[in-house]
Structure 1
Amino acid sequence: MPSPTLSQPVIDVSTNWSRLFSEMCELLEATMQVVSVRTTRMAIAGPSPDEQDRREFSLMSVEKGEAASESILAMHSGLMNLTMVLAKDTNAHLWATSAAVTTLVSSRSATQWFECQTELLRFATDFPAHPLQLVSSATSLMQEILAPIHNRATANARRLAAP
């Protein structure tokens, strides 16, 4: 008996989810490292931090604002693109369904009517046309939204870990 093979959309979804999970784990690990180093530095510096600590503490605020802005922009553009794809797919589905209904109504025989009804039911059950592609697109969008935060957190963890 041949082994079942996975289709490309299933592989894409699995790959994207794995990548997102991995990046989330990296982000959480880097965040814990950075928070630990910075809070320790704050505690040691006390009420009068030196110049290096003041630069680091100022950098924290600037980086958070920049990363948040970039994430919001990625979310906005990604959601706009995803909305356009969904609108296009929905429009195509509505036109195809309307054509199938028109063909069903204009059937001239019982056989033709059953064939047209089968086609109409196929349209009803096939929407959305590419559900796995939609899931994969949403997962990719999450990666794009988190990328600025991930990049800064991991870069800070590497920089602060350096001797």
Structure 2
Amino acid sequence: MKYRKRTPPNPWNPMFGNQQLWLDLATRNTEMLMAAAQVITHRTQRMASAGPQPNARDRREFVRMGSEKVDAARESATAMGTQMMALPWDLGLRWWQAASRASAAAGALGASRTPAQAMARGKTLANALQATGKAAAHASNAGARVAGRGLAPIHAKATANARRLAKG
């Protein structure tokens, strides 16, 4: 199986940016699962054929199986932890800014003196409320980014092993 080079989603596409992040995550997860199945099959057959007296090459591969899992888990936890450290501040700031704009726009609309002024301020309020929706979408995007950062080292190890072991 050929594994594709990951292309980052387009963050400037408001219509499909959120779905694209989650779709990319699902695609990489599927690739990782398929690669893992290939690697498990290859290594299980190798263990069975090596028997109780594996040669030096087999022993190196069997040791590598355990150490690479520990390395990938450590890299994954570090990547997700790093991504999550700034998350509360980023999300909180976005929500606070969106709520402040919406609140100010609602107050201005309530203080309108003319119908024309009310129409203009109503448009400002609608835009502020739309920004609140974008802040909610950002929270979902943040979840996909954290999961993607955690999956990246595991995906890299599994697909690299599948390519390496397929060569023989």
Contact 1:71–1:149 (Cα < 8 Å) also in 2: yes
Q: Does 1:159 align with 2:167?
A: no
Aligned to 1:11: 16
- Count of residue pairs the alignment pairs up: 156
TM-score w.r.t. the length of structure 1 is: 0.75
Instruction: Tell me: CA distance 1:9–1:98, structure 2 relative to 1, closer, same or farther (3 Å).
Output: closer
In 2: Cα distance, 1:29 partner to 1:132 partner: 30
- Greater RCO structure (CA 8 Å; 6+ sep): 1
Contact 1:89–1:128 (Cα < 8 Å) also in 2: no
RMSD, aligned CA: 3.2
- Structure 1 regions of 5+ residues with no counterpart? 1-6
Aligned to 2:65: 60
The Cα shift of 1:25 comes to 1.2
Instruction: Tell me: CA distance 1:130–1:102, structure 2 relative to 1, closer, same or farther (3 Å).
Output: closer
Aligned to 1:4: none
Letter in 1 for 2:89: M
The Cα shift of 1:104 comes to 9.4
Letter in 1 for 2:41: S
Q: Does 1:136 align with 2:141?
A: yes
Aligned to 2:35: 30
Instruction: Classify the secondary structure of the residue corresponding to 1:10.
Output: coil
Q: Does 1:146 align with 2:151?
A: yes
Moved more, 142-151 or 76-85: 76-85
The Cα shift of 1:135 comes to 1.8
The Cα shift of 1:155 comes to 0.3
- Structure 2 regions of 5+ residues with no counterpart? 1-11
In 2: Cα distance, 1:37 partner to 1:141 partner: 31
Aligned to 1:3: none
The Cα shift of 1:20 comes to 1.2
Contact 1:71–1:148 (Cα < 8 Å) also in 2: yes
Aligned to 1:40: 45
The Cα shift of 1:79 comes to 1.2
Aligned to 2:97: 92
Instruction: Tell me: CA distance 1:99–1:9, structure 2 relative to 1, closer, same or farther (3 Å).
Output: closer
Of the two, which has the highest radius of gyration?
Answer: 1
Q: Identify the match of residue 76 of structure 2 among 71, 75, 81.
A: 71
The Cα shift of 1:95 comes to 4.6
Contact 1:71–1:145 (Cα < 8 Å) also in 2: yes
